[in-house]
Amino acid sequence: MILFKNCRIIKELTEGYEGEFADILINGDDIIERIDKPGTIEAEGAFIVDAKNNTVLPGFFELHTHLCITDMNYHRLGTMSQAENAIEALSFAREYLKQGYTTIRDAGTIHNVTAELKRAKARGTVNIPDIISSGQIITPTENGNATFANMYYEADSPYEVRKGCRKQFELGNDIIKCMLTGAYLNEAGNPGESIMMEDELLEAVKVAKMKGGYVMGHAHGAEGIKLGIKCGVRTIEHGSFIDDEAIDMLKASNKTFLVPTAAIGLACLDDDGASLSEDMMDKSKRYELAEKAAVNKAYRAGLKLGFGSDIDKENFIRYPGMEFYARTEWFDFEYKDILIQATKNSAEIAGLAEEKGTIKVGKRGELVVIEGNPDEDIYKMKKMPLYVYFQGELIEN
Protein backbone atom coordinates (compact mmCIF):
# COMPACT_ATOMS: atom_id res chain seq x y z
CA MET A 1 0.00 0.00 0.00
CA ILE A 2 1.13 3.51 -0.73
CA LEU A 3 -0.49 6.68 0.57
CA PHE A 4 -0.05 10.00 -1.23
CA LYS A 5 -0.74 12.79 1.24
CA ASN A 6 -1.57 16.43 0.63
CA CYS A 7 -2.21 16.15 -3.10
CA ARG A 8 -3.41 19.22 -4.96
CA ILE A 9 -5.87 17.78 -7.41
CA ILE A 10 -7.43 18.91 -10.67
CA LYS A 11 -11.20 18.38 -10.54
CA GLU A 12 -11.56 17.29 -14.17
CA LEU A 13 -8.97 14.58 -13.59
CA THR A 14 -10.07 13.33 -10.17
CA GLU A 15 -13.46 11.65 -10.40
CA GLY A 16 -15.84 11.28 -7.50
CA TYR A 17 -14.12 13.77 -5.20
CA GLU A 18 -14.83 17.40 -4.45
CA GLY A 19 -12.24 19.62 -2.88
CA GLU A 20 -8.89 21.06 -3.79
CA PHE A 21 -6.64 18.78 -1.75
CA ALA A 22 -6.79 15.06 -1.01
CA ASP A 23 -4.98 12.01 0.29
CA ILE A 24 -4.95 9.09 -2.14
CA LEU A 25 -4.51 5.47 -1.06
CA ILE A 26 -3.30 2.83 -3.52
CA ASN A 27 -3.70 -0.77 -2.37
CA GLY A 28 -1.41 -3.76 -2.79
CA ASP A 29 -2.91 -4.55 -6.20
CA ASP A 30 -2.06 -1.04 -7.41
CA ILE A 31 -5.70 0.00 -7.48
CA ILE A 32 -6.86 3.33 -6.07
CA GLU A 33 -8.72 2.37 -2.92
CA ARG A 34 -9.66 5.68 -1.34
CA ILE A 35 -9.56 9.41 -2.04
CA ASP A 36 -10.37 11.58 0.96
CA LYS A 37 -9.71 14.81 2.84
CA PRO A 38 -6.07 15.26 3.89
CA GLY A 39 -5.34 13.59 7.19
CA THR A 40 -8.42 11.37 7.28
CA ILE A 41 -7.07 8.11 5.82
CA GLU A 42 -5.51 5.74 8.36
CA ALA A 43 -3.55 3.08 6.51
CA GLU A 44 -1.34 1.10 8.80
CA GLY A 45 1.88 -0.05 7.20
CA ALA A 46 1.39 2.05 4.06
CA PHE A 47 4.42 3.73 2.51
CA ILE A 48 3.81 7.46 2.71
CA VAL A 49 4.61 10.05 0.05
CA ASP A 50 3.99 13.65 1.04
CA ALA A 51 3.07 15.62 -2.09
CA LYS A 52 3.27 18.83 -0.01
CA ASN A 53 0.32 20.43 -1.79
CA ASN A 54 1.89 19.94 -5.22
CA THR A 55 -0.31 18.83 -8.13
CA VAL A 56 -1.02 15.12 -8.53
CA LEU A 57 -2.05 13.91 -11.97
CA PRO A 58 -2.97 10.50 -13.41
CA GLY A 59 -0.20 8.84 -15.49
CA PHE A 60 0.33 10.39 -18.93
CA PHE A 61 -0.32 8.86 -22.35
CA GLU A 62 2.04 9.18 -25.29
CA LEU A 63 -0.12 8.22 -28.26
CA HIS A 64 2.53 8.73 -30.93
CA THR A 65 6.14 7.77 -30.45
CA HIS A 66 8.76 5.57 -32.06
CA LEU A 67 10.79 3.99 -29.28
CA CYS A 68 13.48 2.97 -31.77
CA ILE A 69 14.22 6.57 -32.88
CA THR A 70 17.22 7.78 -30.91
CA ASP A 71 17.83 11.18 -32.56
CA MET A 72 16.89 13.22 -35.61
CA ASN A 73 19.61 11.73 -37.76
CA TYR A 74 17.11 9.18 -39.01
CA HIS A 75 19.41 7.55 -41.52
CA ARG A 76 21.51 6.30 -38.60
CA LEU A 77 18.76 3.78 -37.82
CA GLY A 78 19.88 1.74 -40.80
CA THR A 79 23.37 1.38 -39.34
CA MET A 80 22.31 0.21 -35.89
CA SER A 81 22.42 -3.44 -34.92
CA GLN A 82 19.26 -5.09 -33.67
CA ALA A 83 20.77 -5.30 -30.20
CA GLU A 84 21.63 -1.58 -30.15
CA ASN A 85 18.14 -0.80 -31.34
CA ALA A 86 16.54 -2.87 -28.59
CA ILE A 87 18.72 -1.38 -25.86
CA GLU A 88 18.05 2.19 -26.99
CA ALA A 89 14.30 1.54 -27.18
CA LEU A 90 14.29 0.07 -23.68
CA SER A 91 16.09 3.07 -22.24
CA PHE A 92 13.71 5.44 -24.10
CA ALA A 93 10.76 3.59 -22.53
CA ARG A 94 12.33 4.07 -19.09
CA GLU A 95 12.79 7.79 -19.78
CA TYR A 96 9.08 7.98 -20.58
CA LEU A 97 8.28 6.48 -17.19
CA LYS A 98 10.57 8.94 -15.39
CA GLN A 99 8.69 11.82 -17.03
CA GLY A 100 5.35 10.41 -15.84
CA TYR A 101 4.14 8.50 -18.90
CA THR A 102 2.53 5.20 -17.98
CA THR A 103 1.08 4.28 -21.39
CA ILE A 104 2.89 4.49 -24.71
CA ARG A 105 1.50 3.86 -28.17
CA ASP A 106 4.33 3.11 -30.56
CA ALA A 107 3.64 4.28 -34.11
CA GLY A 108 6.21 2.19 -35.94
CA THR A 109 9.33 0.26 -35.07
CA ILE A 110 12.18 -1.72 -36.59
CA HIS A 111 13.21 -5.29 -35.77
CA ASN A 112 9.88 -5.75 -33.94
CA VAL A 113 11.44 -4.21 -30.87
CA THR A 114 8.25 -2.91 -29.22
CA ALA A 115 6.48 -6.29 -29.24
CA GLU A 116 9.62 -7.77 -27.66
CA LEU A 117 9.60 -5.04 -25.00
CA LYS A 118 6.00 -5.91 -24.21
CA ARG A 119 6.97 -9.55 -23.82
CA ALA A 120 9.90 -8.62 -21.58
CA LYS A 121 7.55 -6.55 -19.43
CA ALA A 122 5.05 -9.41 -19.23
CA ARG A 123 7.85 -11.70 -18.04
CA GLY A 124 8.68 -9.16 -15.33
CA THR A 125 12.14 -8.47 -16.76
CA VAL A 126 11.67 -4.70 -17.06
CA ASN A 127 9.37 -2.07 -15.55
CA ILE A 128 8.38 0.19 -18.43
CA PRO A 129 5.10 1.91 -19.33
CA ASP A 130 2.31 -0.20 -20.79
CA ILE A 131 2.94 -0.38 -24.53
CA ILE A 132 0.45 -0.47 -27.40
CA SER A 133 2.49 -1.61 -30.34
CA SER A 134 1.90 -1.29 -34.10
CA GLY A 135 5.02 -3.03 -35.44
CA GLN A 136 6.10 -2.10 -38.96
CA ILE A 137 4.16 0.66 -40.71
CA ILE A 138 1.98 -0.47 -43.63
CA THR A 139 2.61 1.83 -46.59
CA PRO A 140 2.38 1.89 -50.36
CA THR A 141 5.66 1.96 -52.29
CA GLU A 142 6.56 5.62 -51.90
CA ASN A 143 9.25 8.27 -51.84
CA GLY A 144 11.38 8.16 -48.74
CA ASN A 145 10.35 4.80 -47.30
CA ALA A 146 14.04 3.91 -47.06
CA THR A 147 14.69 6.90 -44.74
CA PHE A 148 13.78 4.78 -41.73
CA ALA A 149 15.63 1.51 -42.37
CA ASN A 150 13.04 -1.31 -42.32
CA MET A 151 10.36 0.55 -40.38
CA TYR A 152 8.00 0.31 -43.36
CA TYR A 153 6.23 -2.71 -44.79
CA GLU A 154 5.46 -1.89 -48.42
CA ALA A 155 2.10 -3.18 -49.66
CA ASP A 156 0.44 -2.23 -52.94
CA SER A 157 -2.90 -3.99 -53.09
CA PRO A 158 -5.56 -5.07 -50.62
CA TYR A 159 -4.03 -8.55 -50.53
CA GLU A 160 -0.56 -7.27 -49.80
CA VAL A 161 -1.99 -5.05 -47.10
CA ARG A 162 -3.84 -8.06 -45.65
CA LYS A 163 -0.58 -10.01 -45.54
CA GLY A 164 1.32 -7.10 -44.00
CA CYS A 165 -1.27 -6.56 -41.28
CA ARG A 166 -1.49 -10.22 -40.41
CA LYS A 167 2.30 -10.28 -40.17
CA GLN A 168 2.29 -7.51 -37.54
CA PHE A 169 -0.28 -9.36 -35.43
CA GLU A 170 1.62 -12.63 -35.83
CA LEU A 171 4.69 -10.88 -34.41
CA GLY A 172 2.77 -9.86 -31.28
CA ASN A 173 1.65 -6.33 -32.12
CA ASP A 174 -1.71 -4.89 -31.04
CA ILE A 175 -2.73 -2.43 -33.74
CA ILE A 176 -1.86 -1.37 -37.29
CA LYS A 177 -0.30 1.89 -38.46
CA CYS A 178 -0.95 2.94 -42.06
CA MET A 179 0.43 5.80 -44.16
CA LEU A 180 -2.55 7.57 -45.73
CA THR A 181 -0.52 10.53 -47.01
CA GLY A 182 3.11 11.44 -47.60
CA ALA A 183 5.33 12.62 -44.73
CA TYR A 184 7.50 15.61 -43.83
CA LEU A 185 10.36 13.42 -42.71
CA ASN A 186 10.39 10.95 -45.58
CA GLU A 187 12.87 12.14 -48.20
CA ALA A 188 10.89 13.69 -51.09
CA GLY A 189 7.55 12.68 -49.55
CA ASN A 190 4.64 15.08 -50.07
CA PRO A 191 2.65 15.47 -46.82
CA GLY A 192 -0.43 16.86 -48.54
CA GLU A 193 -0.70 14.02 -51.02
CA SER A 194 -2.89 10.95 -50.47
CA ILE A 195 -0.95 7.75 -51.07
CA MET A 196 -3.10 4.88 -49.82
CA MET A 197 -6.08 3.61 -51.84
CA GLU A 198 -9.48 3.15 -50.27
CA ASP A 199 -9.56 -0.61 -50.88
CA GLU A 200 -6.13 -0.97 -49.26
CA LEU A 201 -7.11 0.99 -46.17
CA LEU A 202 -10.44 -0.81 -45.82
CA GLU A 203 -8.54 -4.09 -45.86
CA ALA A 204 -6.25 -2.92 -43.04
CA VAL A 205 -9.26 -1.80 -40.98
CA LYS A 206 -10.92 -5.20 -41.56
CA VAL A 207 -7.90 -7.26 -40.52
CA ALA A 208 -7.25 -5.06 -37.48
CA LYS A 209 -10.87 -5.41 -36.38
CA MET A 210 -10.74 -9.18 -36.76
CA LYS A 211 -7.69 -9.26 -34.51
CA GLY A 212 -9.25 -7.02 -31.84
CA GLY A 213 -7.14 -4.01 -32.79
CA TYR A 214 -7.62 -0.90 -34.88
CA VAL A 215 -5.79 1.29 -37.38
CA MET A 216 -3.89 4.47 -36.61
CA GLY A 217 -3.67 6.49 -39.81
CA HIS A 218 -0.81 8.87 -40.54
CA ALA A 219 -2.45 11.74 -42.47
CA HIS A 220 -1.41 15.34 -43.08
CA GLY A 221 -3.49 16.21 -46.17
CA ALA A 222 -7.25 16.82 -45.88
CA GLU A 223 -8.21 14.18 -48.45
CA GLY A 224 -6.17 11.52 -46.65
CA ILE A 225 -7.74 12.54 -43.34
CA LYS A 226 -11.24 12.20 -44.82
CA LEU A 227 -10.45 8.81 -46.32
CA GLY A 228 -9.27 7.66 -42.90
CA ILE A 229 -12.47 8.79 -41.18
CA LYS A 230 -14.61 7.24 -43.92
CA CYS A 231 -12.80 3.88 -43.68
CA GLY A 232 -13.07 3.80 -39.88
CA VAL A 233 -9.51 4.26 -38.62
CA ARG A 234 -9.37 4.92 -34.86
CA THR A 235 -6.96 7.83 -34.99
CA ILE A 236 -5.79 10.42 -37.48
CA GLU A 237 -2.12 11.13 -36.68
CA HIS A 238 -0.85 14.71 -37.13
CA GLY A 239 -3.86 15.99 -39.13
CA SER A 240 -1.78 18.96 -40.26
CA PHE A 241 -3.98 20.31 -43.05
CA ILE A 242 -7.36 19.33 -41.63
CA ASP A 243 -10.17 21.30 -43.30
CA ASP A 244 -13.70 22.28 -42.25
CA GLU A 245 -15.30 19.25 -43.85
CA ALA A 246 -12.95 16.86 -42.04
CA ILE A 247 -13.54 18.70 -38.75
CA ASP A 248 -17.30 18.26 -39.22
CA MET A 249 -16.82 14.58 -40.03
CA LEU A 250 -14.81 14.09 -36.83
CA LYS A 251 -17.38 15.99 -34.79
CA ALA A 252 -20.09 13.66 -36.05
CA SER A 253 -17.98 10.54 -35.42
CA ASN A 254 -17.52 8.73 -32.14
CA LYS A 255 -15.10 6.24 -33.73
CA THR A 256 -12.27 8.39 -35.08
CA PHE A 257 -10.14 10.91 -33.17
CA LEU A 258 -7.39 13.36 -34.00
CA VAL A 259 -3.95 13.03 -32.43
CA PRO A 260 -1.99 16.20 -33.24
CA THR A 261 1.77 16.17 -32.68
CA ALA A 262 3.40 19.45 -31.65
CA ALA A 263 6.87 18.64 -30.29
CA ILE A 264 8.09 17.22 -33.60
CA GLY A 265 7.22 20.49 -35.35
CA LEU A 266 9.13 22.47 -32.75
CA ALA A 267 12.09 20.08 -32.91
CA CYS A 268 12.30 20.22 -36.72
CA LEU A 269 12.50 24.01 -36.76
CA ASP A 270 15.01 23.99 -33.88
CA ASP A 271 17.15 21.45 -35.71
CA ASP A 272 17.55 23.94 -38.55
CA GLY A 273 19.27 21.46 -40.82
CA ALA A 274 21.77 20.08 -38.29
CA SER A 275 20.40 16.55 -38.69
CA LEU A 276 17.53 16.98 -41.16
CA SER A 277 17.99 17.15 -44.92
CA GLU A 278 17.24 20.22 -47.01
CA ASP A 279 14.05 18.58 -48.26
CA MET A 280 12.82 17.91 -44.70
CA MET A 281 13.69 21.42 -43.48
CA ASP A 282 12.03 22.99 -46.50
CA LYS A 283 8.73 21.20 -45.81
CA SER A 284 8.88 21.95 -42.07
CA LYS A 285 9.25 25.67 -42.73
CA ARG A 286 6.84 25.85 -45.65
CA TYR A 287 3.90 24.18 -43.88
CA GLU A 288 4.41 25.50 -40.34
CA LEU A 289 1.76 28.23 -40.36
CA ALA A 290 -0.83 26.20 -42.26
CA GLU A 291 -0.49 23.35 -39.76
CA LYS A 292 -0.74 25.61 -36.72
CA ALA A 293 -3.89 27.30 -38.04
CA ALA A 294 -5.61 24.08 -39.12
CA VAL A 295 -5.06 22.19 -35.85
CA ASN A 296 -6.02 25.25 -33.79
CA LYS A 297 -9.29 25.37 -35.73
CA ALA A 298 -9.96 21.70 -34.98
CA TYR A 299 -9.33 22.44 -31.29
CA ARG A 300 -11.64 25.43 -31.24
CA ALA A 301 -14.34 23.30 -32.88
CA GLY A 302 -14.33 21.26 -29.67
CA LEU A 303 -12.88 17.98 -30.95
CA LYS A 304 -11.59 15.48 -28.41
CA LEU A 305 -7.86 15.52 -29.11
CA GLY A 306 -5.27 12.93 -28.15
CA PHE A 307 -1.70 13.48 -26.99
CA GLY A 308 1.22 12.50 -29.22
CA SER A 309 4.70 13.96 -29.70
CA ASP A 310 6.51 11.93 -32.42
CA ILE A 311 9.71 13.15 -30.77
CA ASP A 312 13.09 11.37 -30.78
CA LYS A 313 14.81 10.17 -27.63
CA GLU A 314 17.54 12.81 -27.63
CA ASN A 315 15.08 15.74 -27.68
CA PHE A 316 12.76 13.96 -25.24
CA ILE A 317 15.52 13.76 -22.63
CA ARG A 318 16.97 17.20 -23.31
CA TYR A 319 13.60 18.95 -23.06
CA PRO A 320 11.37 17.35 -20.39
CA GLY A 321 7.70 18.15 -20.83
CA MET A 322 8.26 19.23 -24.42
CA GLU A 323 4.93 18.07 -25.84
CA PHE A 324 3.09 19.88 -23.03
CA TYR A 325 4.52 23.32 -23.71
CA ALA A 326 4.84 22.71 -27.48
CA ARG A 327 1.03 22.43 -27.60
CA THR A 328 0.65 25.95 -26.33
CA GLU A 329 3.42 27.38 -28.52
CA TRP A 330 2.46 25.47 -31.64
CA PHE A 331 -1.33 25.17 -31.47
CA ASP A 332 -2.34 27.74 -28.81
CA PHE A 333 -4.15 25.20 -26.63
CA GLU A 334 -5.22 26.12 -23.08
CA TYR A 335 -3.01 24.75 -20.31
CA LYS A 336 -5.65 22.71 -18.54
CA ASP A 337 -6.91 21.25 -21.82
CA ILE A 338 -3.37 20.05 -22.58
CA LEU A 339 -3.31 18.15 -19.27
CA ILE A 340 -6.71 16.63 -20.09
CA GLN A 341 -5.49 15.63 -23.57
CA ALA A 342 -2.48 13.85 -22.05
CA THR A 343 -4.61 11.83 -19.63
CA LYS A 344 -8.41 11.55 -19.78
CA ASN A 345 -8.84 12.16 -23.54
CA SER A 346 -6.04 9.85 -24.57
CA ALA A 347 -7.26 7.08 -22.26
CA GLU A 348 -10.67 7.29 -23.92
CA ILE A 349 -9.16 7.35 -27.41
CA ALA A 350 -6.97 4.34 -26.58
CA GLY A 351 -9.99 2.45 -25.20
CA LEU A 352 -8.49 2.33 -21.68
CA ALA A 353 -10.80 4.74 -19.83
CA GLU A 354 -12.12 1.99 -17.54
CA GLU A 355 -8.75 1.62 -15.86
CA LYS A 356 -6.68 4.70 -16.67
CA GLY A 357 -6.83 8.41 -17.52
CA THR A 358 -8.25 9.85 -14.29
CA ILE A 359 -7.70 9.43 -10.57
CA LYS A 360 -10.73 7.47 -9.41
CA VAL A 361 -11.46 4.77 -6.86
CA GLY A 362 -11.21 1.42 -8.67
CA LYS A 363 -8.86 2.66 -11.39
CA ARG A 364 -5.16 1.86 -11.55
CA GLY A 365 -2.91 3.74 -9.19
CA GLU A 366 -0.63 5.52 -11.65
CA LEU A 367 0.24 8.92 -10.18
CA VAL A 368 2.53 11.78 -11.15
CA VAL A 369 3.45 14.59 -8.75
CA ILE A 370 4.27 17.87 -10.50
CA GLU A 371 5.75 20.80 -8.63
CA GLY A 372 3.41 23.80 -8.59
CA ASN A 373 0.29 24.30 -10.69
CA PRO A 374 0.78 23.13 -14.30
CA ASP A 375 -2.86 23.88 -15.10
CA GLU A 376 -2.04 27.54 -14.47
CA ASP A 377 1.47 27.43 -15.95
CA ILE A 378 2.19 24.62 -18.41
CA TYR A 379 5.91 25.42 -18.28
CA LYS A 380 5.94 23.72 -14.86
CA MET A 381 6.06 20.55 -16.95
CA LYS A 382 9.62 21.44 -17.99
CA LYS A 383 10.79 20.21 -14.62
CA MET A 384 10.91 16.47 -14.08
CA PRO A 385 8.03 15.21 -11.90
CA LEU A 386 8.85 15.06 -8.19
CA TYR A 387 7.45 11.52 -8.06
CA VAL A 388 6.05 8.95 -10.44
CA TYR A 389 4.30 5.87 -9.09
CA PHE A 390 3.64 2.97 -11.44
CA GLN A 391 3.14 -0.74 -10.87
CA GLY A 392 4.94 -1.02 -7.57
CA GLU A 393 7.79 1.34 -8.41
CA LEU A 394 8.16 4.82 -6.94
CA ILE A 395 10.47 7.02 -9.00
CA GLU A 396 11.80 10.10 -7.25
CA ASN A 397 13.45 12.59 -9.58
Give me the residues that bind Zn ion (CB under 5 A), please: 107, 310
Of 57, 73, 16, the residue nearest 341 (C-alpha): 57
Rounded to a whole number of angstroms, the minimum distance from the CB of residue 238 to Zn ion is: 8
Rounded to a whole number of angstroms, the minimum distance from the CB of residue 310 to Zn ion is: 4
- Residues 220 and 192: beta-carbon distance below 8 Å: yes
Rounded to a whole number of angstroms, the minimum distance from the CB of residue 213 to Zn ion is: 18
List of E strands, 271-311: none
Which is nearer to Zn ion, 62 or 310 (by Cβ)? Answer: 310
Which is nearer to Zn ion, 33 or 310 (by Cβ)? Answer: 310
Residue facing Zn ion at closest CB distance: 310
Which is nearer to Zn ion, 121 or 218 (by Cβ)? Answer: 218
Q: Residue 73: is it exposed, middle or buried by C-beta count within 10 angstroms (0-12/13-18/19+)?
A: middle
Rounded to a whole number of angstroms, the minimum distance from the CB of residue 112 to Zn ion is: 17
List of E strands, the chain: 2-8, 21-26, 32-36, 47-50, 55-58, 60-65, 101-106, 130-133, 137-139, 152-154, 176-179, 215-219, 235-238, 257-259, 367-370, 387-390, 393-396
Rounded to a whole number of angstroms, the minimum distance from the CB of residue 64 to Zn ion is: 6
Q: How far is CA 197 from the centre of its chain?
A: 26
- Residues 298 and 239: beta-carbon distance below 8 Å: yes
Give the chain's end-to-end CA distance (angstroms, integer): 21
Which is nearer to Zn ion, 49 or 107 (by Cβ)? Answer: 107
Which is nearer to Zn ion, 66 or 380 (by Cβ)? Answer: 66
Rounded to a whole number of angstroms, the minimum distance from the CB of residue 260 to Zn ion is: 12
Which is nearer to Zn ion, 86 or 107 (by Cβ)? Answer: 107
